[in-house]
Amino acid sequence: MKQVVNTERLPIKMWLNDMEPQAVAQARNLANLPFAYKHIAIMPDSHVGYGMPIGSILATSGVVVPNAVGVDIGCGMVAQKTYLKEISTEELKKVLGIARQTIPVGFDHHKEAQDEALMPENHEELNIVKNQYNSALKQLGTLGGGNHFIEIQRGSDGYIWIMIHSGSRNLGYKVANHYNRLAQRLNERWFSVVEKNKELAFLPIETQEAHDYMNEMNYCIAFGVANRKLMMQRMMEAMHEVKGDFEVDEIINKPHNFAAWEHHFGKNVLVHRKGATRAFDGELGMIPGSQGTKSYIVKGKGNPESFMSCSHGAGRKLGRKQAKRELNLEEEINLLEEQNILHAIRHKSDLEEAAGAYKDIFEVMNNQKDLVDIVVELQPLAVIKG
């Protein structure tokens, strides 16, 4: 931990030295919520979000806050170790070519519905999910855009890894927006002390609305897992087509946009992680850098001060529009090509996901030595972006 702010109702415990003023203001809003519990935890990758900083943890007593989970419910990472030790540049190009034929990216979906057996069960009981189910069948196994990626990596353990970052696609977006708007309307009706402009409307946990949100949120989390697993299956099929037979380890999966009941400081509370990864003692997780820097397989230390959490990545240092204005396209491309990385930077519009748009991952990792231990360092070899 780097600093503690004690000027608000609850302390704000921060694992970074510098934070943009708007994100600091959001953290102060969290700390003054009447239902916030114990303290607010701010991870070293934190930056401004909607209502709540990305890379922060809010524990609540008696309520759920849809915007403290966010619009991409269940967004997270999977990583899988292969027992391949070598893959050439030409082989990487072939793998990427095959993968792009089976994994839609950006706004693209599959033209046909995917195998329904891969979907989570009981969608018929959920209002928003039920209405979006047929569309979700075509979104299953798709990457999306923004900071979502598929990356082939070389591990410090000598093996080739694959890592995927994606979420619940339009399904989670629809659920999040519906329940956030519902919470806003109800908060206005209740004359809530949580002002609308704070973007932190809540649902008391004993209400039907909160019950419905939790059920739909958990479905979206499960859909996010299914989405990432199908993409990993398709990536492995592409790898096998190019490299032949090889063994793999079990998938490591970690969501970083979710709320869950946990026991902290002697009480059962609802822990909201928005752009933060659970890091219970001994628990494996992933912390990606950028497409030009290392990523990490980590093991949690179960630090109670962070509600047993860690960062979910390097974190942005430049907004998307700011990155496109300020970064130099040629310099960003050269940075990647000097490392022989097959990358996704082609045009000025791609600069929003350039390495220069992100914080220094080495500093981020150094700031959370009390939260996780590094198990494997992963160097990018090839990247697919949305």
Q: How many other C-beta atoms are found inside a 10 Å radius of the C-beta of residue 114?
A: 19
Provide the residue-wise pLDDT of the chain in tens; the chain has 386 residues.
999 999 999 999 999 999 999 999 999 999 999 999 999 999 999 999 999 999 999 999 999 999 999 999 999 999 999 999 999 999 999 999 999 999 999 999 999 999 999 999 999 999 999 999 999 999 999 999 999 999 999 999 999 999 999 999 999 999 999 999 999 999 999 999 999 999 999 999 999 999 999 999 999 999 999 999 999 999 999 999 999 999 999 999 999 999 999 999 999 999 999 999 999 999 999 999 999 999 999 999 999 999 999 999 999 999 999 999 999 999 999 999 999 999 989 999 999 999 999 999 999 999 999 999 999 999 999 999 97
Domain borders along the chain are 3-317+358-385
Collapsing DSSP to helix, strand or coil, 84 comes out as coil
Query: What's 3-317+358-385's CATH class?
Result: alpha beta
Distance of alpha carbon 95 from alpha carbon 385, whole angstroms: 14
Taking CA atoms, 40 is separated from 149, 223, 252, in Å, by 29, 28, 27
Helix residue ranges per DSSP H, the chain: 21-31, 89-102, 127-139, 169-189, 208-243, 320-326, 329-338, 361-366
Handedness of CA 176, 212, 168, 362 (dihedral sign): positive
Q: Which of 240, 312, 343, 347 is catalytic?
A: 312
Distance of alpha carbon 15 from alpha carbon 307, whole angstroms: 13
Answer yes or no: 123 catalytic.
no
Tell me the three-class secondary structure of 85-126, residue by residue. CCCCHHHHHHHHHHHHHHCCCCCCCCCCCCCHHHCCCCHHHC
284 backbone dihedrals φ, ψ, rounded to 5°: -80, 145
Position of tokens 């629809």? 174
Distance of alpha carbon 62 from alpha carbon 205, whole angstroms: 5
Distance of alpha carbon 279 from alpha carbon 246, whole angstroms: 30
315 backbone dihedrals φ, ψ, rounded to 5°: 85, 145
Distance of alpha carbon 378 from alpha carbon 294, whole angstroms: 5
Distance of alpha carbon 364 from alpha carbon 46, whole angstroms: 10
